[in-house]
Homo-oligomer: A and B are copies of this chain.
Amino acid sequence: MTPERYARLRETLDRRQPDLTLLTEQIHKPRNIAALVRTADAVGIHQVHMVWPWDKHRHYSGTAMGSDRWVNVNRHESMPAAISQLKESGYKVYAAHFSDRAVDYRSVDYSVPCALVLGNEKKGISADTADLVDEHVVVPMMGMVESFNVSVAAAIILAEAQRQRAALGLYDKVRLDQEEYWQTLFRWAHP
């Protein structure tokens, strides 16, 4: 490994945000998953959470997606299980979801430990999930089309999370714990 490559791996790990994550509800198009993981990496997300659609994609492997080299993918059996695990770990859970209680995505705090839930390409966020989360956030839409592509909505919201965290200096100090940091460095350096 070149010194430049080593420095780049370290720099990336120095900025990882272990307390910022995504949770996808039955998102199934590989290109959407790939774009979500790519954007997650770019804002410093270390691990994402996913609940696959039961019917088809049970054996969808992380590796098959091709974009999980830099971001860990944690698969859960159900949305209630994933959400309660996140809540027990102290995360706020925000769903990107249109509803009567939805607020503008810029009005919530992404500098606290938090997870952003994204809904299925066709069906969106389920009613059960909508009930379980802390907040519903929306990106305002001024046109005729009713929703963004899911990876676009996620990117707009995550750019705001990145802005808030950068303003507070959260990318300027190492946030991963030492064990995770060095294990990840080892794995990235010896694929």
Interface residues of A (CB under 8 A from B): 8-9, 12, 15, 31, 35, 38-44, 67, 69-71, 106, 139-145, 148-149, 151-152, 155-156, 159-160, 162-163, 166, 171
Of all chain B residues, the one with the shortest Cβ separation from A152 is B155
Q: Is the interface of A mostly helix, strand, loop or mixed?
A: helix
A31 to B9, CA, bound (A): 32
B38 touches A148 (CB 8 A): yes
Residues of the B chain whose Cβ atoms lie less than 8 Å from the Cβ of A39: 148-149, 152
Interfacial chain B residues near A163, Cβ < 8 Å = 106
Q: Is the CB of B42 within 8 A of A12?
A: no
**A31-B31, A145-B42 as given contacts; A140 in contact with B162, CB under 8 Å:** yes
Task: Please pick, from B15, B71, B143, B159, the residue contacting A159 in the complex, using a CB distance under 8 A.
Answer: B159
